[in-house]
Structure 1
Amino acid sequence: MKKTLLLFTALLILSPLALMANGQQGESGQTVQYPKGNLDFVAPSGAGGGWDLTIRTTAKVLKDTGLVRVPMPVRNNPGAGGSVHLASLQEKKGDDKTITVYSSPLILTKLAGTTDLDYNNVTPLARLIADYAVFVVKADSPYKSINDVMDALKSNVKSVKIGGTSSAGSMDHLQFLIMAKAAGVKNLKEIDYVSFDDSGAAQVLGGHIDLFSTGLSEVQGLIQSGDLRALAQTAPHRVGEGVVAEIPTCMEAGINETFVNWRGLFGPPEMPEYAVDYWRETLGKLRLTPEWEAARKTNGWDDAYMDAPEFSEFLVQADNNFRDILNEIGMLQN
C-alpha cells in the first residue's frame, strides 16, 4: 500500500515536468502543447522562386530530420513583391501556426512606396541563409559578359530591357542598379525594368526581356541545362559547385561591388512568446544538421544564420543602408 502511495505521489510530481517536455510555457504560466495540428508555411511569391524554394526546403528538412512532427503544408500567396501576403498577415495577429519567408523586399517595398508595412509588422524568428544575385540571358543572346551589358547601357540607357520578379525599386531591380552604378552607368532611373509575378526565366527565354536579374538558386537548373547563360553573380567569391562555380563575380569583371540577398523566417505580428521560443530553438538545431548543410550546398546558399534578437538588430541596420542607396538613385519614397 505504501509503495503504491509513493508511486502515485511521484507521478503527481513528475507529470508537470513530463508535460513541459512536450509543450511550451504560455504567458499565463500554463503549458501549451505546441506545435499542434497543421502548420501554415507560406511563400509570399509564385511557385519556383527563391522564397518558394527556401520555405519548401526548410519544411522538407524539418520533416526529414524529425525536428517538427506535425504537417507543414506549403502554399503560395504572391503579389506586389510580397506585399499582398504581408497585408494578409496583419489579419493573423497572435497566430502561432503561420510561418513565412522574406528577404530584402520586406524592407524595400515600403521604402519604394509599394506598401506601408515592413519588418515592424511581422515577428522575426531567424535569418537562415545568404543567396546572391545572378544576371542571366538566353543562350543565344548577343551579350556574352556583364561588361557587354554595361557598355550597351552606357551607349544607350534604353538599349537593354531588364526584368525581375520583384517590383520596381525592390530587390531584383535594385541589385542590378547597384551593379550598374558601380560599373559607371549613368541615368539609372531611365533603365527599362519590367516586373513579373510569375517566372522571369520564361520571359527572358521568350525574348520579352534581354536580361533577368534574380537569385542564383532560382535559375540554377536552367544554367546547368544550358538554356540560360549566366553573365555574372554578385557574391564576393565564386559559389556553388559544377557549372555554378564557373560563373564569374562582378568584381572579377572590374565592377567593385557585391550584393547579398539574405532570407529568413517570420511569424505574424504579435506571435505568442511560446511559439517564438519554439522556433528559435528548432531553427537553431536545423542549422546544425547535415541535411541542412547538404541542402545549402545543393542550392548554392551560404550560411547566414542569426537568432531572432540579432536578426531584429540587423533588420534595422539593413533598413538604414537601403534608405541611403535608394535616396542616392532617387527612388526613396517612404
Structure 2
Amino acid sequence: MKLSKISAFALAAMISFGPGAVTAQEREQVMDKVHFLIPGGAGGGWDGTARGVGEALVNSGLVETVTFENMSGAGGGKALNYIVENAQSNEGTLMVHSTPIIVRALNKTVNMGYRDVTPVAGVIGDYAAIVVGKDSPYQSWDELYAAYQENPGGVAIGGGSSPGSMDHLVPAAIMQAAGSDPLDMRYVAYDAGGKAMAGLLSGEIAALSTGLSEAIALSDAGEVRILGVTAPERVDAAPDAPTFTELGVDMEFINWRGFFAAPGLSDEKRAQYADLLKEMTTTEAWATVRDRNGWIDIYNAGDDFTNYLAAQEADMEKLMKDMGFIQ
C-alpha cells in the first residue's frame, strides 16, 4: 500500500537566534523578525522543522531574528485556536504544521483546519520510521512483527500525537500492508515526541512511530534503532536503515511540513512570507539543515499549496474511512 500516492507532495519556553549567527553569504535581509508558533512540545517533528527553518533563515542572512513558541495541547488544536482567535496580534507569526492539520480535522480531534488559517507554503517532506529503544529485545522489523503477530495487544506502538493521527495511521497502514488487521494494533498516544521517547525508553511501548528526521537524531544519539523507513529507497542520512519495501512490506509514505499564517493576512504579506521561504531553500544554510535531518525539498506555495491541501483532504478521508478510523 503506497500511501505516498496520497501524500507525496514532494514527489509531483522561547529561543531566539540573533544577528550574530549570520554567515558571510551576504544575502539581502528580507525581514527583521519572524515568530514561529509550534503546535507541539520540544523534540517533535514540528519543533525540529520550525527550528531548522529558523536556523537557516538567520544563518543565510534573510532574517535578523527568529523566535519560537511551543504551544502543545489538544492534538495541535490549542495553537491553531490561538492563532485564529488572536489574528490581529499574530501577523508576524508563522505556524508550522503538516498532514495532521487535515487528519485531525477529519477525525474531529480539533475543531478547526487549514481553511481557518492562511496557507503560506509547504517546505519539506519527511518520511516516517518505526524505531525501538537501544535496549529493545527486537533487533529487526521481522522480530518485532513476529511478536506482534503472536500477540498484537502485547506489542504496543506509541507516537507523539493523538489517536487517529499520522503517528497512528502510519504504523496501522504498515501492519495492514504486512497482512495484519490494522485495528488490532494497540496505539499509545503521547502529547509530544519527547514524552513518546520517554515512554519507549521506559518500556511502556515496544516501538515508536515517528518522523525520520526525529529518528535520525535519536539514532545518532545512540538512543534507538531504526527498524524501517517509509521511503522508496534508502536515505543518505540514514544509510543503515532499511525501507519497508526492502522488508517485503509494500508501503511508502512522506509527510509534508509547511507554514500557515493567521486568518485575514493580506495577499501582499502572504506573498512576502512565501518568497522568504522560497529564497531560503536556495541557500547553503538550508542545504546544511535539510541534509542533516534527511528532509526532502517540496516547496509549494500560495494557491498551489491550498489546492494540494484540498486534494489531500479528499484522499485522506477515503483512507481513514477504508481503515475504519472515521465513518
Do Structure 1 and Structure 2 share a fold, with TM-score over 0.5?
A: yes
Map of 1:317 onto structure 2 = 311
1:1-334 aligned within 5 A = 38-69=33-64, 71-94=65-88, 95-186=90-181, 188-198=182-192, 199=194, 200-241=196-237, 244-332=238-326
What's the offset of the Cα at 1:292?
0.6
Q: Secondary structure at the match of 2:152?
A: coil
Q: Secondary structure at the match of 1:219?
A: helix
Q: Secondary structure at the match of 2:162?
A: coil
Map of 1:24 onto structure 2 = none
What's the offset of the Cα at 1:151?
2.8
Q: Distance in 1 between matches of 2:242 and 2:130?
A: 11
Q: Distance in 1 between matches of 2:178 and 2:132?
A: 18
Q: Structure 1 residues 225 and 64 mapped into 2: Cα distance closer, same or farther (>3 Å)?
A: closer
What's the offset of the Cα at 1:329?
1.2
Moved more, 175-184 or 135-144: 135-144
Q: Distance in 1 between matches of 2:244 and 2:190?
A: 24
Q: Secondary structure at the match of 1:129?
A: strand
Q: Distance in 1 between matches of 2:265 and 2:325?
A: 33
Q: Distance in 2 between matches of 1:222 and 1:257?
A: 23
Q: Distance in 1 between matches of 2:123 and 2:137?
A: 37
Which 4+ stretches in 1 moved above 4 angstroms?
A: none
Q: Distance in 1 between matches of 2:34 and 2:125?
A: 25
Q: Distance in 2 between matches of 1:311 and 1:288?
A: 19
What's the offset of the Cα at 1:185?
0.8
Moved more, 149-158 or 255-264: 149-158
Q: Report which of the two structures shows the higher radius of gyration computed on alpha carbons.
A: 1
Give the conservation status (yes or no) of the 8 Å contact 1:96–1:272: no
The residue identity in structure 1 corresponding to 2:80 is L
**What count of residue pairs does the alignment treat as equivalent?**
295
Cα deviation code 1:284-330 (max 9, x no counterpart): 11111111111100111011111222111111111111111110111
Q: Distance in 1 between matches of 2:235 and 2:99?
A: 20
Q: Distance in 2 between matches of 1:327 and 1:35?
A: 43
- TM-score computed with the length of structure 1 as normaliser: 0.84
What's the offset of the Cα at 1:35?
5.1
Cα deviation code 1:132-178 (max 9, x no counterpart): 11111112322222232333333322121110011100010111111
Q: Distance in 2 between matches of 1:82 and 1:313?
A: 22
Q: Distance in 2 between matches of 1:89 and 1:250?
A: 38
Give the conservation status (yes or no) of the 8 Å contact 1:162–1:192: yes
The residue identity in structure 2 corresponding to 1:51 is W
Give the conservation status (yes or no) of the 8 Å contact 1:92–1:269: no
Q: Distance in 2 between matches of 1:151 and 1:325?
A: 26
Q: Distance in 1 between matches of 2:94 and 2:139?
A: 41
What's the offset of the Cα at 1:225?
3.3
Q: Secondary structure at the match of 1:115?
A: coil
Cα deviation code 1:60-118 (max 9, x no counterpart): 2111212123x321110011221111111211335421111000110111111212211
Give the conservation status (yes or no) of the 8 Å contact 2:217–2:293: no
Provide the aligned C-alpha RMSD in A.
1.6
Unaligned runs of 5+ in 2: 1-29
What's the offset of the Cα at 1:222?
2.4
What's the offset of the Cα at 1:211?
0.4
Identity in percent: 37
Q: Distance in 2 between matches of 1:89 and 1:225?
A: 34
Give the conservation status (yes or no) of the 8 Å contact 2:60–2:284: no
Q: Distance in 1 between matches of 2:221 and 2:268?
A: 45
Cα deviation code 1:268-295 (max 9, x no counterpart): 1121222101111111111111111111
Q: Distance in 2 between matches of 1:146 and 1:317?
A: 33
Q: Distance in 2 between matches of 1:111 and 1:129?
A: 23
Cα deviation code 1:188-214 (max 9, x no counterpart): 223211111131112111111100100
